[in-house]
Amino acid sequence: MRYEVKGDTLPVAVCSLQRGESLYCEAGSMSWMTDGIRMETEGGGIGKVFGRMFSGETLFRNRYTAERDGQIAFASSFPGSIVAVELSAGRTVIAQKRSFLACDTGVDMEIFFQKRLGKGFFGGEGFIMQKFSGNGAVLLEIDGSAVEYELAAGERMIVDTGHLALMDGTCSIDIEMIKGAKNIFLGGEGLFNTFITGPGKIVLQTMPVQKTAMQLYQFMPHPSSN
């Protein structure tokens, strides 16, 4: 699969397929394609179906196969970025749920549980993320702009909940409560922070959809209570 990301705040990934080449994508994510590309809906085993449900994806995914050379495009569903990650043997990445757009058929996707489930659930990142491994490219949707850091072994980055988009599988993640009642109630930063420890690359996003929704909610008309 060859791909090109076009656009700015509302990007689209245009993928070129040669005859006989296939890719997987999230059900309903195809935006447009040239004639001659065949779609097949696949579910896989019951474990994979429920795994996608828990990670925030649809229960099924589509396989597109080119019967002749052509193109297929996947547009972002939210103002942001599309990040392409090249995977090879030995490299895995962990991404936020609902970020998956498309991937080569050699890429495996499974759910990833944070070890400290309770804190992960209440910390805002969600205790379920997605793990990608195998060989090939995977296209992921990022909320806002993507900012990359390379962490050395033992180096930590403290991230406000919702801003972690993806990290290498060599990194570890933990959720910790902000210390001090004054900081919690007056600091305006919520109850938890996310700690990512290297080694490995991390990608942070500037506009988490959850925070954007909360900001927009303040300006929406609400029915008056009588």
More reliable by pLDDT, 61 or 17 = 17
- 49 membership: H or E segment, kind and range: helix 46-54
pLDDT digits (tens, 9 = 90+) for 150-200: 999 999 999 987 899 999 999 998 877 666 444 444 444 556 778 899 999
More reliable by pLDDT, 104 or 176 = 104
* Neighbouring C-beta atoms of residue 209, cutoff 10 Å: 18
Supply φ then ψ for residue 177, to 5 degrees: -75, 140
On the question of a cis peptide bond just before residue 223, with omega within 30 degrees of 0, the verdict is no
212 pLDDT exceeds 90?
no
More reliable by pLDDT, 203 or 192 = 203
Q: Are strands 200-205 and 164-168 parallel, antiparallel or unpaired?
A: antiparallel
Average pLDDT over residues 34-50: 73
24 pLDDT exceeds 60?
yes
- Specify the range with the lowest mean pLDDT, choosing from 22-31, 120-129, 161-170, 179-188: 179-188
% of the chain exceeding 70 in pLDDT = 73
Q: Which two tokens stand for residue 133?
A: 């491994």
Supply φ then ψ for residue 142, to 5 degrees: -115, 140
Please state the separation of Cα 150 from the chain's center in Å: 18
Average pLDDT over residues 128-151: 93
User: Using CB atoms within 10 A of its CB, is residue 158 exposed (0-12), middle (13-18) or buried (19+)?
Assistant: exposed
Region of residue 20 (left: phi > 0; alpha: psi -120 to 50; beta: else): left
Q: Which two tokens stand for residue 132?
A: 């990608």
Residue 8: per-residue pLDDT: 84
Of the CATH numbers 3.40.50.10260, 3.60.160.10, 3.40.50.720, 3.40.1530.20, which one belongs to the domain with range 2-217?
3.60.160.10
Q: Which two tokens stand for residue 195?
A: 């700690």
